[in-house]
Amino acid sequence: MARIKILGRADMNAEQARVYDAAKASSGIVGGPYYAYIQLPKLFEASQILRASLSDGPLSHREQQIVNLAVARHWNARYPWFAQVRGSLAVGIDQTIIDAINARQTPKLTDAHERICFTVASELLADKMLSDQTYAAAEKTMGLERLVALVAATGSFSMTCMTANAFGIDPPADNPTPLA
């Protein structure tokens, strides 16, 4: 159960309504942790801009989803996990990969970029840094621009997960792939 009041559109002040309407019109993403972000409309707006810049960035949608699954699992973030499972299935990520990440196992990823995305996100979250070996492999495989996007995506989605956890934003009861 959410720890904060979930504001309906009619309950928002003018600034909250403005950023909510803009998000609804552009991405349609206004639920989950955004229920908390709407309390600070500038944060809501900035998070939408960051999300859009990463979404339109150099990582493929599959790579982004692998990162998001690793991050949501690390934080035990139930709503973000729910949302990312849906997104992952939509871009063709196999349920066995999702299940492996859910079980805290290294998934069998055949694509080198997707493997590096999982490795970098997992290592950053677990060790709070990258080993020289992982950094070198990631830079060689991804290139510097894509590596920057990968690190930024890991950090950005960590904020989303922490927000969902802190404010008790839960997935719907009919969640088909809950966290293990």
Q: What is the pLDDT of residues 58-89, one digit of tens each?
A: 999 999 999 999 999 999 999 999 999 999 99
**Distance, CA of 21 to CA of 143 (rounded, Å):** 37
| 179 found inside a domain | no
End-to-end CA distance of the chain: 19
Six-digit token pair at 146?
């894509």
**Distance, CA of 46 to CA of 136 (rounded, Å):** 32
| 13 found inside a domain | yes
**Distance, CA of 27 to CA of 11 (rounded, Å):** 21
Over residues 124-138, the pLDDT tens digits come to 999 999 999 999 999
| 180 found inside a domain | no
Position 5 pLDDT exceeds 90: no
Range of the domain at 87: 61-161
Position 34 pLDDT exceeds 90: no
Residue 134 is given by DSSP the state: H
Same domain, 34 and 94: no
Three-state secondary-structure class, residue 37? helix
How many structural domains comprise the chain? 2
Same domain, 111 and 79: yes
